[in-house]
């Protein structure tokens, strides 16, 4: 399964549901369904080699320690850098090169500029170990509590302060759409930094936006799974991202990674048959783009 534009391998991110915990069974299903890549969690040092030995590509593994890298405590930051340095080496030996994280600070109430300074210090210390393994951090811009590097401002500041090629982007347009940031403009601006792509979309619900607005929680209306007042995450093709253009921009930038579906969709999550459907439908859509 490859995208029609760019020929990028299509894979998916391993989830936490019961059927996905059996790695051997998950690999067998993925191959039978036509997927070519699998994203792994913080156990990449134990699982990456199993995935590559089965003939699949490792799209990304989660970096072992996230919040410790952005801790006010210097000793904690040093410990996090040391742990991640060893983890990167161990994962790279198994064929993993992309290390996924969200820049979530340990103290989300602290001033953002202060947390950003901790981030810069830690990432600069980790960069040489990443470079030695030909590895790259792929930072996702999920706008969680206190999260840094979610917007063009944040990414640009990081790449200025830590210019190493080991600093990269996990391009997930679903988060940009929900924040009102043009996902195609962002991609054009940062295409050279993209090391990994999440195949996840966002549906914008204009009627709910009219009824509920964007600033306050609803008083009576039911909430949306994997969503907010007027938006919800969904599989590619069920939202508003222009995927053919996404892949065209990546092709022009000589992107060499894959597109991995991150299944967060209230219409499919929650059961093994539904999740397999969601992954398959999303994969086939990306294959057509």
Q: Where are the domains of the chain?
A: 10-288
Q: Do 175 and 141 touch, CB atoms closer than 8 A?
A: yes
213-234 pLDDT, tens per residue? 999 999 999 999 999 999 999 9
152 CB-near residues (< 8 Å, 6+ apart)? 181, 186, 189, 190
H helix or E strand, kind and range, residue 10: strand 10-13
Average pLDDT over residues 68-86: 97
CA-CA-CA-CA torsion sign (196, 230, 66, 50)? negative
Q: Do 48 and 40 touch, CB atoms closer than 8 A?
A: yes
Which residue(s) pair with 62 in the sheet? 100
Specify the CATH class of 10-288 in words.
alpha beta
Say what percent of the chain tops pLDDT 90. 100
pTM of the prediction? 0.96
Q: Do 152 and 145 touch, CB atoms closer than 8 A?
A: no
C-alpha 122/C-alpha 238 separation (Å) is 38
109-120 pLDDT, tens per residue? 999 999 999 999
Q: Which of 60, 47, 64, 95 is nearest to 198 (CA)?
A: 60
């Amino acid at each position: 399964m490859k995208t029609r534009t760019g020929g990028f391998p299509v894979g998916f991110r391993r989830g936490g549901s019961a059927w996905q915990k059996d790695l051997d069974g998950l690999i067998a299903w993925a191959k039978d369904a036509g997927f070519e890549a699998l994203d792994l969690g913080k156990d990449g040092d134990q699982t990456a080699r199993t995935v590559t030995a089965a003939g699949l590509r490792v799209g990304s593994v989660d970096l072992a320690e996230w919040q410790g890298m952005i801790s006010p405590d210097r000793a904690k930051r040093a410990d996090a850098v040391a742990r991640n340095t060893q983890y990167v080496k161990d994962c790279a030996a198994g064929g993993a090169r992309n290390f996924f994280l969200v820049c979530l600070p340990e103290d989300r109430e602290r001033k953002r500029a202060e947390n950003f300074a901790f981030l810069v210090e830690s990432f600069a210390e980790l960069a040489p170990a990443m470079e030695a393994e030909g590895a790259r951090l792929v930072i996702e811009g999920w706008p969680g509590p206190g999260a840094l590097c979610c917007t063009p401002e944040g990414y640009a500041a990081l790449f200025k302060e830590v210019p190493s090629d080991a600093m990269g982007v996990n391009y997930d347009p679903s988060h940009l759409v929900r924040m009102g940031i043009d996902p195609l403009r962002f991609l054009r601006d940062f295409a050279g930094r993209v090391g990994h792509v999440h195949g996840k979309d966002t549906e914008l619900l204009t009627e709910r936006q009219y009824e509920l607005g964007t600033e306050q929680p609803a008083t009576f209306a039911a909430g949306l799974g994997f969503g907010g007042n007027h938006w919800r995450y969904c599989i590619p093709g069920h939202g508003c991202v222009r995927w053919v253009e996404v892949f065209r921009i990546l092709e022009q930038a000589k992107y060499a990674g894959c597109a991995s579906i991150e299944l967060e969709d209230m219409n499919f999550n929650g059961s093994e048959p539904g999740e397999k459907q969601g992954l398959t439908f999303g994969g086939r859509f990306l294959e057509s783009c």
